[in-house]
Chains A and B, each alone.
Chain A
Amino acid sequence: MRDLTENILELIRLASTDLPPDVEASLRQAVEREAPGSAGRGALETILKNVELARQNSTPICQDTGTPIFYVYYPEGWSTRRLRDQIRSAIAEATARSYLRPNAVDALSGRNSGNNLGDDHFPTIHFEEVAEDALRIDLMLKGGGCENVGAQYSLPNSALGAGRDLAGVRKVVLDAVHKAQGKGCAPGVIGVAIGGDRGSSYSASKEVLFHELDERTPDLELAALEDRLTTEANQLGIGPMGFGGETTVLGTKITNLHRLPASYFVSVSYMCWAYRRRSMTVVGEVVSFA
């Protein structure tokens, strides 16, 4: 099996230092919506200057390089054990090269491992065997500030008047965006999962964030709810960094899972504007990045 460590290192560098084009384009549109001279517009202008500088200098867009979350889709015949070793080596090297901040902290001793390698869950790596010939690795770097404002609701929720239907989902998601204020580094992108158990629901609310901003869910009812939530979240007026303004979120992505009769979870993952996700594909000898 070939060694992909160098390629994975490049994937990490790209993710940390080069914001995806769809996110940058969305931020550029957001600037135009904010009033000239407002603090919100100033924040977005600084954000865009930072995005350009990070790309040019190959330095992290944000100092919180987050939890590295990998999804590996591999054809039959690859060794997941070796792929895991290669990912972990690449993570340690990326940390040594300052593409990543040492972020793995022992929850009991408080000790930082110094190289971003923790237990089996740090970095987070999901493996899935696929029928295709190509191997694909998706990577998301999700910072702690936005992770901390994620929320999970068990419906019905009488305080919010939220029942077990999409009208109820709408209410709890708006509540989550309100509670987040600017703390998740607004304008963010909202990942929502309806259903599942507590664990699978939260995971799905992050997985949906791997899709590009203009990719739509095929479910027309969910697509309509995504649009409505984006519009209404922006009506809250929280604005960039919570300074007030027109753009509180850049988009909303919703997915759904089967649930138990007794449970109706709605999980909300908030992704900060520094929406760092990249992908690499290996077909034969050719490795490409997106």
Chain B
Amino acid sequence: MGSPVAVIEAKRAKGAMGEEQLSSFPPPSLDRDAKRREDHDLVERTRRGEMEAFEALYRRHSPAVFGLALRMLQNRADAEDMLQEIFLQAHDRLPSFEGRSAFGTWLYRLSVNRCLDHLRSRGAKEQSRTEPLTYEFSGRVSTVGLRGLELERAIGELPPSSRAAFLLHHVAGFDHKEVGEMLGIAVGTSKSLVHRARTRLKEVLAR
């Protein structure tokens, strides 16, 4: 047995707490309202300067935001930079978050618009800078299957606005009213963008 620090370092090299992994203890099916209340509590605590509250918000929402950024930008390095920018900006803007919408909705709005801005500026520099998505999924891959991977690639061929509307509506699960508010477009336009996206995806997948 080495020094206490050596013991710690050896354990950390093996994992969070060494071989003694904690049993999974997540709360089962927390309902949406409970999550929303918890988010608001975490937002309030973050406003009071509690770093761990902001970390909790990050842990809860970063997988969804990262998924959105990856699919929007189709480039892992850009998506990682974007995720960092989004959460730093969210932290800066929290004082202006009024809580009229759920924190997750507010964060998605910020995220998708940052991604669209990025694509617009990137489009001005270069027409296309996509790369195959090679990230690992955090969920159960078996539920995704080949169809999901094909779809991931096809999504990259959608125009940015259709891509955004499609991802917000069908992947994130927002209704057209919410998508419209996030993108600053009418409900009918959101529907139209999603329909166009589906039609285009069908064509791409049929190749």
Q: Are both chains from one complex?
A: no
